[in-house]
Structure 1
Amino acid sequence: MALGAVALTGCTKYIKRDEFDTTIADLRATDQKLQGQIDSLSQKHDALVTQLAGRVRVETGAHFATNDATLSEEDKPLLDDFARVIRDNHSDALITVEGFADPSGSAALNRRLGLKRAQSVRDYLVSAGLNANQVRAVSYGEDRNRQVREGQSGDAGRDNRRVSLVVDYAGVSQATAAPTASL
């Protein structure tokens, strides 16, 4: 009898199979919904979106002029839509804004410039309604393995002077069963 009581006590820490299956189904639905919303952003704004190991990456979040970290007006509609989708449907998401530079300056300058670009976009996303705690900024500067047009600067290096948006964690959507928000 004592062995039975110990065995039953140990079972209280297990998750019931139906609860586990429901949680997994919710996570998969949230992931599919986020991917659909990001794909819509990609089509609407001609952005490259990829997904790898549960992370969603928007490659063309914004582009910058040489030696500048000012966000252009043409990049704001994509950022507005991105912020709305995350704010309204994925409030648990953690967003990383990655800043980049072309190789025209020193490595230290380019690292600082990449960070200023990332912070500029981060600040814009926060002003668009995202929680400041869920959006972080990092810089890769001119790292060769992160350049779109390796070694290029000036007009040819425009794609190197950019930020990318990475959704590191989408969480469980607040409206998993709701229809996908239109973009």
Structure 2
Amino acid sequence: MFTGFGGARVVAAAGALSVTLGLGGCAAKVTREDFNAEVARLRQEVQAGDAHLGSQIDSTNQLVTDHTRRLDALDQELQAFRSEYNVSIERTRDLMKFNVPVHFDFSRSELREADRPVLDRFATVVREYYPGAVVTVEGFTDPAGSAAYNRRLGQNRANAVKEYLASAGGFETSKVKAVSYGEASNRQVVPGAKGPGDAGLENRRVALVIDHAAIATDQLAMP
């Protein structure tokens, strides 16, 4: 209860009524009974207002508590994701980039069976904490072959992961984009490393980017 503010209103009103009571010569007198009744009415009005305000503050505090708890849970989930799958995460204000250990055989775009679990875990994080976010799959290649060929190969790799996230991960296709960076030298994990064979495997990869700019701030606090 915030009786300090409400009490001030009652006191002010009572003071005004007291002045009226003291003007005994006025034609329209306020009787003691009228005075007490008016004070009681004002007190009830103020108490009702205080109760409503208190309820609003309690609701706001609960939202803050829920939001904090959910953020803590997200941090724990991301820490577990990092350690379990050796994932690195880069954050900006509206984006989160997951450098996941999803790699491809030389000159191939098929998703390897061994890489599916990390994508499943990524999908779980997005569904739980970033529903409605747009995910961009970035495809990369090693520098073997022509730039044009590698752009196409990188796109095929990104498309393969996009299709997996839509089918197995339950993502809406409109919420998953696929782009290719091909053999871009500034994005190679091991500069210049290339196949055939396992050489250059680190460069034959995808990265996953969550764009959550359009999500309402309070969505993380949803139960």
Q: TM-score, normalised by structure 2?
A: 0.62
104, 126, 130: which one pairs with 2:166?
126
Corresponding residue SS for 1:57: strand
Instruction: Say if 2:206 is the partner of 1:163.
Output: yes
The question of whether the paired residues in 1 share the 8 Å contact of 2:130 and 2:212 is answered with no
User: Partners of 1:29 and 1:108 in 2: how far apart?
Assistant: 48
Alpha-carbon offset, residue 32 of structure 1: 6.2
Alpha-carbon offset, residue 57 of structure 1: 1.0
Task: Report the equivalent of 2:185.
Answer: 144
Whichever of the two has the greater Rg, that structure is 2
The question of whether the paired residues in 2 share the 8 Å contact of 1:93 and 1:169 is answered with yes
Summarize the Cα distance change of 1:107–1:115 in structure 2 as closer, same or farther, 3 Å threshold: same
Cα distance per residue 1:68-121 (max 9 Å; x no partner): 001011110111111122123321211010000000010000000000000000
**Whose RCO is larger (CA < 8 A, sep 6+)?**
1
Summarize the Cα distance change of 1:85–1:69 in structure 2 as closer, same or farther, 3 Å threshold: same
| Bigger share in strand | 1
Alpha-carbon offset, residue 31 of structure 1: 6.5
49, 54, 63: which one pairs with 2:103?
63
User: Partners of 1:42 and 1:164 in 2: how far apart?
Assistant: 14
Cα distance per residue 1:139-163 (max 9 Å; x no partner): 0000001111111102331110000
Corresponding residue SS for 1:98: strand
Corresponding residue SS for 2:201: helix
User: Partners of 1:66 and 1:81 in 2: how far apart?
Assistant: 25
Summarize the Cα distance change of 1:157–1:92 in structure 2 as closer, same or farther, 3 Å threshold: same
The question of whether the paired residues in 2 share the 8 Å contact of 1:39 and 1:49 is answered with no
**Structure 2: tracts of 5 or more residues without a match:** 1-56
**Structure 1: tracts of 5 or more residues without a match:** 1-17, 179-183
The question of whether the paired residues in 1 share the 8 Å contact of 2:86 and 2:101 is answered with no
| Bigger share in helix | 2
User: Partners of 2:121 and 2:100 in 1: how far apart?
Assistant: 14
Alpha-carbon offset, residue 29 of structure 1: 7.6
Amino acid aligned to 1:165: L
Summarize the Cα distance change of 1:135–1:142 in structure 2 as closer, same or farther, 3 Å threshold: same
Summarize the Cα distance change of 1:95–1:153 in structure 2 as closer, same or farther, 3 Å threshold: same
Q: TM-score, normalised by structure 1?
A: 0.75
User: Partners of 1:28 and 1:96 in 2: how far apart?
Assistant: 27
User: Partners of 1:145 and 1:90 in 2: how far apart?
Assistant: 29
Aligned CA RMSD, in angstroms, stands at 2.6
Corresponding residue SS for 1:167: strand
Q: How does 1:1-183 map to 2 (within 5 A)?
A: 34-127=74-167, 128-154=169-195, 155-169=198-212, 171-172=215-216, 174=219, 176=221, 178=223
The question of whether the paired residues in 2 share the 8 Å contact of 1:148 and 1:159 is answered with yes
Give the total of aligned pairs: 157
Corresponding residue SS for 1:63: coil
